[in-house]
Amino acid sequence: IGLVRRIHGKGTFVNRTNLDSDLSSCYKFGQQMRRLGRVPTTRIISFEKKEVNAYFAENMNLTDGEIIIKVERLRLADGEPMMFDQTYLPLKYFPTLSVGMLQNRSMYDVFKDEFQEDIDYADEYFSSGVISECDSKAMGLPDGTPCLLLKRKTYDLQNHLIEFTLS
């Protein structure tokens, strides 16, 4: 089986594969930047707990009234902004998560080391677009700058959605 498949009239899609490796390493920004010879850093812009709204309830398989953690992070390489992440986590899986735990650590390492949450797989969707006003301010770019948009849903070994990220 190949990594991609083409469906006439619909497009080209990445096949879901079951890899016998540390899947979380594929999604570690710091590792990717170091492989490219760059120095990665992350600035946590905000960290808040809030009640889930209809959009996130639907996208995260949650019910009204559940609490999520919203973490906004600016990812840099050699001091240059590369990515602005808005990550949403169900509080029920990370009840004691704090900003301090995320300082200078991979979020996925925190998931594994502090909460025994191992990643099984992630669905990622990429599209082209323009940077939003909120993201442009965080990254120091003009509003409307072309960019690559990412939506990622990450699942644990029990098939629970444990992370929903918009970048």
pLDDT per residue of the chain (167 residues) written in tens, 0 to 9:
455 667 777 777 665 544 443 444 445 677 777 788 888 888 999 999 999 999 999 999 999 899 999 999 998 888 888 889 999 999 999 999 999 999 878 899 999 999 999 999 888 888 888 888 888 888 888 888 888 888 999 999 999 999 999 98
Q: What is the pLDDT of residue 35?
A: 83
CA distances 12 to 1, 75, 125, Å, are 14, 29, 12
Nearest to 112 by CA among 163, 41, 166, 70: 163
